[in-house]
Chain A
Amino acid sequence: AQSVTQPDIHITVSEGASLELRCNYSYGATPYLFWYVQSPGQGLQLLLKYFSGDTLVQGIKGFEAEFKRSQSSFNLRKPSVHWSDAAEYFCAVDPNTGFQKLVFGTGTRLLVSP
């Protein structure tokens, strides 16, 4: 079945440490890929997106993500986490139907310890 998987429900990272959040998808063709962040009590905000081209994508707030076709993955990374990065992160996929109906993963909640 077509799906978006975020295997980690919660992740705790020390402030200043590096971060990697995992996202895998199962679609036949390469879809459009997105990462969104949801801060407490807020709506979702786009961090970055991948349509084609360079497989390493830079986003806002110092985040980047790498598309790996062979692994059907689009993992989000940040070299040094700040306390303000504590939030919930959602990977999303547009199966490229042309209708832009995003399918969201179940989210990963990031906790940042002092």
Chain B
Amino acid sequence: DADVTQTPRNRITKTGKRIMLECSQTKGHDRMYWYRQDPGLGLRLIYYSFDVKDINKGEISDGYSVSRQAQAKFSLSLESAIPNQTALYFCATSDMTGANTGELFFGEGSRLTVL
């Protein structure tokens, strides 16, 4: 099983609908992130969380919200989806200790299409 699991993997929805993307991890990491990938733009940070009580906006947080339900769970919500939120979304985790310091561990992505 994957260490970082994203659901759903694919979702098609309509403008104005509320969408939630979920991320769960078994790595025991405190830090979790949501990135958005668009062709030609690379990955851009939406939100990040360093522990359950710590939530921070990234560079493109407008139109998104997040919830850190537990150390292992970090959800991304689009309250009212719009077509320019069509993208591939990645959840990632990191740990600041040991040999993996600085490394992000990614889920396989959630492809969202907003019609």
Residues of A within 8 A of B (CB): 9, 32, 34, 36, 41-46, 49, 51, 90, 94, 99-107
Contacts and interface: CB of A to CB of B under 8 A. Distances in A.
Nearest to B9: A41
A100 B48 CA distance: 10
B12 interface: no
Contacts of B90: 43-44
Question: By DSSP majority rule, is chain B's interface helix, strand, loop, or mixed?
Answer: strand
B20 interface: no
B108 A42 contact: yes
Interface string B33-45: 0010000111111
B74 interface: no
- Residue among A46, A99, A102 with max Cβ neighbours from chain B (10 Å): A102
Nearest to B111: A41
A100 B96 contact: yes
Contact of B48 (A90, A94, A101, A104): A101
